[in-house]
A = this chain, B = another copy of it.
Amino acid sequence: MHVVVIGLGAMGYGIASALHRAGMNVCGFDMREEVEANFSKLTGLAIDRKTALAQADCVVSVVVNASQTENALFGEDGIIKDLKSGAVIISCATIAAEEAIKFEQSASEHGFLYLDAPISGGALRAAQGKLSVMASGSTEAFDKAEPVLAAMAEKLFRLGDKAGNGSAMKSVNQLLAGVHIAATIEAFAFGLSQGVSADQLMEVIPHCAGTSWMFENRGAYIADGDYRPHSANDIFIKDLNIVQHAAQMSALDLPLTETALALFKETSKQGMGKQGDVAGLKLYAEQAGLALPPARYEEA
């Protein structure tokens, strides 16, 4: 199986490594030459882009958003010019369902299969091949992508026979994830204001009904004074904007999502958009004069 992975950020690099470990012939492309070179060293393969695409049975696109996906697939230097006819494109970026529908249509017009397949689980699980994949698309696309999906996912959810359903599910997940990160921030601010330490929160809350995946994951960063962009604040501005836009089309107000989005936006406005997505805690701390766990990573 020949696979091309586009986008070697934390998630893409992890996925590409997992596919390589599963015995596939994997080429990785990235805007940053040194990252591409690193991955080539890992696999021992150094094939030019044109050749790699001409051989590829499957492309996994792990870029950041819809416009990057569009450029990477169908843009001036997009892959479809060189991609082997009939290949399946697995698109993992968090995008609006309507964009996924559009991309499936374009792919089909050019003779390719398309899978709307957003992912969840973080960089560590990506590298372990243990992601959750929320996928929808044609039976042909699923069949052709099967070995790749098996190597990257612990949980593969088949959510229907056309693009859009996978992205719709992912947008619900991002609503929850974004609100839970903001809730984690607010809970730490409140706890610190009441004399409860960050370490006590991390000891107790995971055993109580107030816990969440995000509390346990992002709370550890807060307690550790880690504001590095494992996932940047601005990512959730993008993702919650997708949620808000889709909800507006359905005449649905989402007041909690709006409140969480306002925090991420204000954090960005204060110059912390490229920091980790718990940076908004500093705004609460400033407001109420709270002492946060000392920031330990100066590069943030």
Which residues from chain A sit less than 8 Å from chain B, CB to CB? 97, 120-122, 132, 134, 154-155, 157, 159, 165, 168-169, 171-177, 179-180, 182-184, 186-187, 189-191, 193-196, 200-201, 203-205, 207-215, 217, 243, 246-247, 250-257, 259-260, 262-263, 284, 287-290
Contact for A209 among B122, B171, B182, CB less than 8 A: B122
Specify the chain B residue showing the minimal Cβ separation from A255: B259
User: Taking the nearest CB of chain B, how far is it from the CB of A154, in angstroms?
Assistant: 8
Does B195 lie within 8 Å of A172, measured CB to CB?
A: no
Report the nearest B residue to A172, measured CB to CB: B191
Q: How far is the CB of A213 from chain B (nearest CB, A)?
A: 5
Complex: how many Å from CA A57 to CA B190? 36
A205 and B199 alpha carbons, distance in the complex (Å)? 28
Q: Which residues of B contact A182 (CB under 8 A)?
A: 256
Give 10 closest A-B pairs by Cβ, nearest first.
Answer: A176-B210, A212-B212, A120-B208, A173-B210, A193-B250, A252-B288, A168-B194, A172-B191, A179-B183, A177-B210
Q: Assuming A210-B173, A217-B209, is B243 touching A190 (CB within 8 A)?
A: yes
Minimum CB–CB distance for A32 against chain B, Å: 25
Contacts of A176 on B, CB cut-off 8 Å?
A: 183-184, 187, 205, 210-212, 215
Report yes or no: A212 in contact with B180, Cβ–Cβ below 8 A: yes
A252 vs B185: C-alpha distance when bound (angstroms): 13
Q: Are A174 and B210 in contact (CB under 8 A)?
A: yes
Q: Contact at B205–A173, with CB atoms within 8 Å?
A: yes
| Contacts beyond the supplied A157-B204, A176-B187: 4 A-B pairs with Cβ under 8 Å | A176-B210, A179-B179, A186-B254, A255-B263
Q: Given known contacts A120-B208, A200-B159, is B195 in contact with A175 (CB within 8 Å)?
A: no
Residues of B within 8 A of A205 (CB): 172-173, 176
With CB as the reference atom, state the residue of chain B lying closest to A249: B193
Q: A168-B191, A179-B179, A201-B172 are in contact. Are A288 and B250 (CB under 8 A)?
A: yes
On whether the beta carbons of A175 and B190 are closer than 8 Å, the reply is yes
A200 to B173, CA, bound (A): 12
Chain B nearest CB, measured from A176 CB (Å): 3
Shortest Cβ distance from A125 into B: residue: B209
> Which residue of B is nearest A208, CB measured?
B120
Q: Using Cβ atoms and an 8 Å threshold, which residues of chain B touch A262?
A: 255
Question: Taking each of A122, A154, A183, which has the highest tally of chain B beta carbons within 10 Å of its own beta carbon?
Answer: A183
- In angstroms, Cα B253 to Cα A290, docked, is 13
Listed A/B pairs (5) with beta-carbon separation below 8 Å? A172-B187, A172-B191, A173-B209, A176-B215, A186-B256
